[in-house]
Structure 1
Amino acid sequence: MKNIIKIFLSDVRGLMKNFFALVIAIGLCIIPSLYAWFNIYSNWDPYANTSSVQIAVATEDKDYTLSDGSVVNMGDEVVDELKENDTIGWVFTDKDQALDGVYSGKYYAAVVIGEDFTSNMYESVTNGFQGSSITYYENEKKNAIAPKITDTAATTLQTSINEKFIEVVASTIFTETNQLSADLKNSDGIESFEDKLKEINASLQAYDGMIDTFIQGNEALTASVNSASDKIPGLSTKISDTAQDVTDTNASLTASQATLAGFNTDVQEALNQVQASLDAVATDLSNAGLGDKAKVTAESIAQTKNDTEALIAQLSTLQQTLEELSRQEAENKQQQLQDVTDEQKMALDESGEQSTESGIQIPDIQIPDIQIPSDIQLSEETKQQIQAALDAIQSLQNGAGDITTALNTIQGAISDIKAEQGSDASKIANDVKTTIDSDAAGISSTLSGCKQSIENMKGVYSNNLVPEMSNVLDSMSQALTNVTNLLNNLNSTLGNMGLVFDGVETTMSGLDDSLVQIQAVIRSVSSELTDITDKLDAAGEDEKVDVLMDILEGDPETYGEFFAQPVSIETEPVYEVKNYGSAVAPFYTVLALWVGALLLVSLIKVKADPDKLDHPKHHELFFGRYLLFFVLGQVQAAVVVLGDIFLLKCQILYPGLFWFAASVTSFTFSMLIYALTIAFGDMGKAFAVVIVVIQIAGSSGTYPIEILPDFYQKVYIFFPFPYAINALRETVAGMYGSTFETALSELLVFAVAGLMIGLVIRIPFIRLNHFMEKRMEDTKMM
């Protein structure tokens, strides 16, 4: 503690002994205040001098003649009103000069009143309420703030014109109603007028009943929509199941194609085997030698019999296959596909019937008909060819049966020869030979016919039957694929129908609300008309006119003034500040204190001389020199506060608290900037400059933080300016709760941060800072 006081007293004595140093110190205490005072004064009341902002006004409005012969010109009236308005520097000229002045920068803006300005006002009732308009030209290049001021002037002008317009229209309408009442007094039209009122009332009551009907219909429609919407999930499931059935059918058809390929191979082999058997039988008969050699004949006959039996088996298989084809399996597949299509159409019909019952115009969902290819059925020619093949097979089977019978006879004869082998054997052999010779001729003839039939069957099968069946299966497969895609698209369409139903329900709900509101208006008007007609019916002939006069008559000007400004606004200030300079005084005062602290660290060394001290520690050197910065900072705060109060005469409701907040702010700023400089040297000074640059733009000192870019809205709470400004604002405009104490407490957090930087964080950087200072001294410039 002794070293701290010693350093401070040494610094004070040094200033007192050195005149120039003392002058500089005094200047450091006053210069920051000038920064605040000049900025506050320049912003003292900028909107009080808007009369110097020149806006050109030109009118091309033409005179308008009223029904009574009088001439009016509302454009000239607007000009006359502007001449009495001294808040803006209005310059009255013609259109060409006004536009030239805006483009050259002579005028900030120009207002040009069109030639139909008055006529549109007075004829608005008859021309569909086409409003009058003015053209506003604005030079946004000349100054950034001037357009905002001229926009305000233009808005004020527009409001004034709108009031005048409404006043004229309302006055015109009520003038006409007064004329109507006068006409009724002077004519016999009272009866007709009463009848018109009753007709209008009857029409309104009819509209009321019609709206009830609409509302009831909407309720029924909403219920139907909900019912149809509830059925959509079930319909979607049904379509999905149908799509799965079609997919399964297509898979079965694919399997049939594979089966057809295998069957084709089997039939070809069967036909080849039958032909080989026939050739073998013929060869065996030829090799038999017509019974000359019994043993050889017996063996050949046995082989021929075996081949013939194989032929009969192959013919039976082929016959079963062709009979299966003759059952028209393709027609069955076609019928199955048609059933799927019919089921899909029934599902769509259900949806259509539901939408019809609901009375909703659902968008038409076009589902193309599924056309079953005509070639999916076997042609008549193919059927005839199959039947011919079956007849040929039957003939082959009969021939094979004859061959078998003959071979059995020959085998029996040969068996008798083998059994006898005696005196009668020769006779039996002759009989066998005779039998073989007689049967062999028939067998050969039968075999020739069978071979020709086999050749014909192979031609029919290969050239007609197989290609025909292949085309049938391909057509069926393509048709089923198309059906599957169609069902998937339809399922997606049903999902969209659900959205349509939801939209219809929302629309119906909104329509009901609108109808109820319209109905309330109709009933209110109808009630008024009923009261009027009841009064007219109860009144005598002489009294009816008086009743109507009470209803229709009125002062047009009074009505016009009322409708021009039906609502008035009364502004009640909260925390009123008498001028803009007082409003920005907290911001510029805080800014001056930060600038003052920057000037102190820039011109006064932050490191105390340890010589002549008794083993000084780091914290003693820190606080010893800081005491000088603290005292000078408090002098700066006092000077700027006194100038704000007594020189500029800012509005400050709590001068003592204003000084106290400025004192705390000076302490926080000087501590933070001093700590940054002693810890990081020139880098710390640069960092302090960066901080103030960011805070000038984004501390909510002038513009609300809510309208600044997102970056400033996110980071401004991490800087000290907002808290210091909030504390000073409380003393300028008025206190609210504990806002003042809270703001100062939050501000002192940055003073604590400065202590941490100067006493703790600084330690690891001492050697680095010393090294950087030596290198900068080596440059002979820094």
Structure 2
Amino acid sequence: MIKHVKNILKIFVGDLKHIFSNPVATLIAFGLTLIPALYAWFNIAASWDPYANTKGLKVAVVNLDEGASIDSIFDSDIDDSAINIGEMILDELRKNDKIGWQFVDKEEAMDGVESGKYYAAVVVPEDFSTKISSVLTSHIERPVLQYYVNEKKNAVATKITDKGVASVQQQINETFISSASKVMGKLVNGYSDDWSTRKDTDRGDAISALNEIKDSLNQLTDTIGILKGTLRTVNSLNDGVKGTLPDVNKMITSGEDTAQSARTLVDSTRGMSDIVTQGVDDTLDQITQTEETIYETFNVLGNISDTSADAAINTIKAMESMTSAMITQLNSFGKLLNDINSKLPIKLTDVTQIQQQLGAAVKQQQDLLVKLQSAEKTVKETRRLPNDMKDDIGDSLSLAYNTISDINNFYKGKVEVPLKDSLDKTYDALGTTAGALGSIGNLVGQIDTTLTSVNTSSQSLIEALDSSLNLINKSQERVDDMIEDVNKIADNKQLNKIMDIMKNDPERFSDFMMKPTDMQTNKIYPVENYGSAMAPFYTILAIWVGGLILVALLKTKVEPSRAEGLKLYETYFGRYLTFMLLGIFQALVVSLGDLYMLKIQCVEPGKFVLAAVIASIIFTNITYSMTVSFGDVGKAIVVVFMVIQVAGSGGTFPIQVTPKFFQMVNPLLPFTHLINAMRECVAGLYGNAYWIDIRNVLVYIPLSLLVGIVLRKKVLEINEFFEEKLSQTGIM
């Protein structure tokens, strides 16, 4: 055993003598230890803090925004409500020196991006402020910030400019939220002040208005009672007149004083014309009063909120009930007029016209009923009544009220007097023909039919009035409920608390809404700069490159004269010690240079240097074994292995974002574990993670020894064959 060790050391010591006895060889050896370090140092220094020097990246900014006014959206008069997002962007970017913002016109910006003068361009369109303000309206349009980027110029630069533009977008969002919140804060602040000072006054006004509606409903109830009494009187008179008709027939049959009896009949019914026309007049007045009550009830609604929604629903239901009663009354009234007009000797054309007006009024009431039912459903679902729906109902009520008023005026102006005259003339005609017995018989039948028809129409109207009276009673109950709800709203503790909150300072409110949360970053393993974070990757890569340089410039095989009589493994270890020593020097130079020349952050410098030395021992063993066993083919394999490790070790990008192949091979690569071990040294140790990574990478030593000693014997002849063929080319 001692003999084998002596043979190994003999080769190793001989190599050192040959190197240091030759000045050129010594210089080359010195260069071999320095070149890998230069590779690492230049890369680490170049990436020391790139994100602190992004102001050299030129990005064009174009503002075409014409601005907007939040004030007009709220229909108020508040200072500082005009916004121009484009100008705000420019103001903020002038303060931002992280990127080289260039403020130019659109033509220059687009030409600069295409030519490569600018990495990117941001264009704020003309309607940007208008569209972003539309979020405060019912018609929302999303604004679009135009971003043009030249991805050909540099792959990483565009990612940095993307982040810069994303920060611009964030600034836009915060600025708009701040402006809108400030205006809304002033509005709600003023409203809360009004609520505090006018709460009791408004409650009194609302209750007073509801009491007025209640009084109107009471008056309407009284009017309906009077009208019902009038109609019953008409029916009683009709029944009395009809009771005399059989006696008249007997008088005609017996021939006893026929003319005088006919005159008596006519005189006894002559007062009917006044009663009928007055009854029609009273009916129209009652219909008009009902429409006024519906309109007044609607005006009590006001603005509906969560707390007043239930009361509003009751109000709308009351309006629906009264509207249904109105439709019934209009239909009954139209039938009454038609029955009276059909019995007149000469029909009144104006009655036909008023019938058409009544038909239009019924259609309007039916449309109004549909809108009220839709409003009730909306309030139940949303606890709100949209302004457009409320305005539509108000317009329908105004139209319906005007139509009823027109019918009333038309009747009193053109129908009432002609109707009374026509009835009077009918009785006069009956008087002049009292002597004609044959005619009087026909007249008696006509009077009987007319009175029966009037009785039927009057009874239908009485029934309609009874239905209306029931609905009005229900409406009165709902008005009482509404008065109770108004009192509850004014005394509601939660609502009063909300109003107190709304008194907050609008400036503080807008500042909070602009940035409602703060992010507190707690760095678990803080790293001072990007160069320190990348030092493990570039250091490990440089050590591998150092191993490649060694096998490229130094001979891996011992000269035959020195290897004569030695075992294969003795020559293997004898020459490997030289490679290992130079590799250790490479690792010491690069790691100590990282620490004390570049001054990278390193919490555990001793372990950092140890990891570099272990990496060098393993890497030189791998490269040496592959080269000594496979020659130039082995060198090529080592280069390919390095390329795979650069991509699959997670040294630059997180391994999770790489293709599936690299994620699979990642745990099998020595780079992975050695980079992780050095990261532990740079940022801080976690448990035994450092030693676990070192343990994992040591498994490559027996594997490389297997290749360099065991497999070497089996592939020796193949390797010699390849070398002979390559030498025959005269080039390789």
C-alpha contact (below 8 Å) 1:720/1:747 kept by paired residues: yes
The aligned runs of 1:377-416 (5 Å cut-off) are: none
Question: Could you say which residue in structure 1 is the equivalent of 2:189?
Answer: 178
Distance 1:781 1:205, change over 3 A: farther
Q: 1:551 to 1:605 in 2, by over 3 A?
A: closer
Q: Which runs of 5+ in 1 are unaligned?
A: 208-517, 523-529
Between the aligned partners of 1:552 and 1:531, the Cα distance in structure 2 is 23
Cα distance, 1:200–1:673 mapped onto 2, change above 3 Å: closer
Question: Is 1:62 aligned to 2:66, yes or no?
Answer: yes
Of 95, 102, 113, the match for 2:106: 95
1:586/1:193 CA distance change after superposition, 3 Å = farther
1:13 equivalent in structure 2: 17
* 1:589 paired residue number: 539
Q: TM-score, normalised by structure 1?
A: 0.55
Give distance in 1, aligned partners of 2:653 and 2:311.
57
Measure how far apart 1:179 and its partner are.
3.7
Aligned match of 1:579? 529
TM-score with structure 2 setting the length: 0.58
1:30 equivalent to 2:41? Answer: no
In 2 relative to 1, CA 563–199 (structure 1 residues): closer, same or farther, beyond 3 Å? closer
Letter in 2 for 1:50: T
Give the conservation status (yes or no) of the 8 Å contact 2:629–2:716.
yes
Residue matched to 2:7: 3
Cα distance in 1, alignment partners of residues 632 and 527 from structure 2: 41
What is the SS of the residue equivalent to 1:723? helix
TM-fit CA distance, 1:57: 1.3
CA 191–776 in structure 1, closer or farther in 2 if over 3 Å, else same: same
Partner of 1:140: 151
Q: What corresponds to 1:637 in structure 2?
A: 587
- SS of alignment partner, residue 136 of structure 2: coil
Match for residue 347 of structure 2?
Answer: none
- Structure 1 window deviating more from structure 2 (677-686 vs 715-724): it is 715-724
- What is the SS of the residue equivalent to 1:110? strand
Q: Which amino acid is the alignment partner of residue 19 of structure 2?
A: L
Does structure 1 residue 739 correspond to structure 2 residue 693?
no
Q: Distance in 1 between matches of 2:517 and 2:537?
A: 38
Taking a change above 3 Å as real, the CA distance of residues 548 and 694 of structure 1, as seen in their structure-2 partners, is closer
Pick the aligned partner of 2:117 from 100, 106, 110.
106
Q: Distance between the aligned counterparts of 2:717 and 2:669, measured in 1?
A: 29
Instruction: Check conservation: 2:622, 2:704, Cα contact below 8 A.
Output: yes
- The answer (yes or no) to whether the contact 2:67–2:127 under 8 Å persists in 1 is no
User: Match for 1:617: what amino acid?
Assistant: K
Instruction: Give the aligned residue type for 1:596.
Output: G
Q: Which of 566, 582, 585 lines up with 1:616 in the alignment? A: 566
Q: Distance in 1 between matches of 2:129 and 2:613?
A: 63
Q: Following the alignment from structure 1 to structure 2, what is the Cα–Cα distance between the partners of residues 545 and 605? A: 90
1:722 aligns with 2:672: yes
**Residue 549 of structure 1: CA displacement?**
5.8
Indicate the SS of the match to 1:90.
strand
| Residues 199-234 of structure 1: CA deviation (Å, up to 9, x unaligned) | 743646999xxxxxxxxxxxxxxxxxxxxxxxxxxx
Check conservation: 1:190, 1:545, Cα contact below 8 A: no
CA separation of 1:706 and 1:153: change in aligned 2, threshold 3 A:
same
SS at match of 2:528: coil
Rg bigger for which structure?
1
Does the 8 Å contact 1:57/1:92 carry over to 2? yes
Q: Is the 8 A contact 1:535 1:547 kept in 2?
A: no
Once residues 563 and 131 of structure 1 are traced to their aligned partners in structure 2, the CA distance between those partners, rounded to angstroms, is 20
Determine if the alignment matches structure 1 residue 73 to structure 2 residue 23: no
Which residue is 1:125 aligned to? 136
Letter of the structure 1 residue corresponding to residue 85 of structure 2: M
Q: 1:697, 1:545 → 2: CA distance?
A: 63
CA contact (8 A) 2:131 2:142 kept: yes
Corresponding residue of 1:709: 659
Give the deviation of 1:608 after TM superposition.
1.2
Cα distance change, pair 39–24 in 1 and its aligned pair in 2 (3 A): same
The structure-2 alpha-carbon separation of the partners of 1:557 and 1:777, relative to structure 1 and needing over 3 Å to count, comes to: same
- 3-state DSSP of counterpart to 1:145: helix
State the secondary structure of the residue aligned to 2:114: helix
Q: 1:162 aligned to 159, 167, 173, which one? A: 173
Letter of the structure 1 residue corresponding to residue 658 of structure 2 = L
- Measured against aligned partners, the alpha-carbon deviations of 1:489-539 in whole angstroms (never above 9, x if no partner) come to xxxxxxxxxxxxxxxxxxxxxxxxxxxxx99999xxxxxxx9996473499
CA shift, 1:556, in A, is 2.0
Which range moved further: 148-157 or 714-723? 714-723
1:751 corresponds to which of 701, 712, 717: 701
Total equivalences in the alignment: 461
Aligned to 1:44: 48
- Work out whether residues 168 and 560 of structure 1, in 8 Å CA contact, stay in contact via their aligned partners in 2: yes
SS in 2 for 1:56: strand
Aligned partner of 2:506 in structure 1 is 556
Measure the CA separation in 1 of the matches of 2:93 and 2:670: 47
> What is the RMSD of the two structures over their aligned residues, measured on CA atoms?
3.2
Q: Partner amino acid for 1:175? A: K
Contact 2:311–2:485 (CA<8 Å) still a contact in 1?
no
Q: Secondary structure at 2:731's aligned position in 1?
A: coil
Matched residue type, 2:50: P
Question: What is the DSSP-based 3-state SS (H/G/I as helix, E as strand, rest coil) of the residue aligned with 1:25?
Answer: helix
C-alpha separation between the residues in 2 aligned to 1:773 and 1:545? Answer: 94
- Name the structure 2 match of 1:569: 519
Q: Residues 370-419 of structure 1: CA distance to partner in whole angstroms, max 9, x if unpaired?
A: xxxxxxxxxxxxxxxxxxxxxxxxxxxxxxxxxxxxxxxxxxxxxxxxxx
Written as runs of structure 1 = structure 2, the 5 A alignment for 1:194-593 is 200-201=306-307, 203=309, 534=488, 536-537=490-491, 550=500, 552-593=502-543
Q: Is the 8 A contact 1:622 1:758 kept in 2?
A: yes
2:114 aligned partner, one-letter code: Y
Whole-angstrom distance in 2 between the partners of 1:521 and 1:606: 88
The Cα of 1:92 is off from its aligned counterpart by 1.0
Q: Could you say if the C-alpha distance between residues 174 and 531 of structure 1 is closer, same or farther in structure 2, counting changes exceeding 3 Å?
A: farther
> What do the CA deviations read for 1:45-94 (whole angstroms, capped 9, x no partner)?
11011111111112122254643576553321221111111111111122
CA distance in 1, matches of 2:671, 2:620: 13
2:698 alignment partner, SS class: helix
Q: Report the secondary structure of 1:700's partner residue.
A: coil
Pair 764,133 (structure 1): closer, same or farther in 2 beyond 3 Å: closer
Quote the residue 2:458 is aligned against.
Answer: none
TM superposition shift of 1:554? 3.0
Cα deviation, residue 117, structure 1: 3.1
Quote the Cα distance in structure 1 between the aligned partners of 2:661 and 2:136: 53
Q: 1:204 to 1:17 in 2, by over 3 A?
A: farther
Counterpart position of 1:317: none
Partners of 1:719 and 1:134 lie apart in 2 by: 45
Tell me, what secondary structure is at the counterpart of 2:606?
Answer: helix
Percent sequence identity is 42
Q: Deviations over 1:421-454 (max 9, x none)?
A: xxxxxxxxxxxxxxxxxxxxxxxxxxxxxxxxxx
